[in-house]
Amino acid sequence: MDGLQRWRILRLHVEDGIPLTALATDTGIGLRTLSRWHARYRDGGIAALGNLPRADTGTRRMAPELVAFVEHLALTRPRPSIATLHRLTRGEAARLEVKAPSYATVRAVVRSLDPAMVTLALEGPAAYRDRH
């Protein structure tokens, strides 16, 4: 839902005086959500009702020790599958007593490795020299 759609709903409260509780019942949108929209509208007008980017965009909540563990294993020869990496990482997370990452997170760590570094680690200096 974009800011304009939010304004069309919130306008009923702001301009027509319909209570937020009645608006929540009629629209099926939670009262707390409507209250947040109203606070954002009061602070910044209609423009403030647009979608806000997440504060944690681009960050990983995976423990740094586990990131290093996955990167190390992903650069070993022969390269293990993502499923194997995930299984080993879950065991390491249990050993470190931290939350285990999801399969998608392990895959994202592996995919974020520098291709030149992967070439050097898995195929050797001759392949690295030829490609990079």
Is residue 63 within 8 Å of 96, Cβ to Cβ?
yes
Single out the residue of 113, 105, 102 nearest to residue 79, CA to CA: 113
Q: Note if the pTM is more than 0.85.
A: no
Give tens-digit pLDDT for 101-131.
999 999 999 999 999 988 888 888 888 888 8
Helix (H, G, I), strand (E, B), or coil: what is residue 56? coil
Give tens-digit pLDDT for 75-87.
999 999 999 999 9
Rounded CA separation 61/67 (Å): 10
Please list, in sequence order, all residues whose beta carbon lies within 8 angstroms of the beta carbon of residue 110, skipping any fewer than 6 positions away: 70, 71, 74, 82, 85
Query: At 96, which amino acid appears?
Result: L
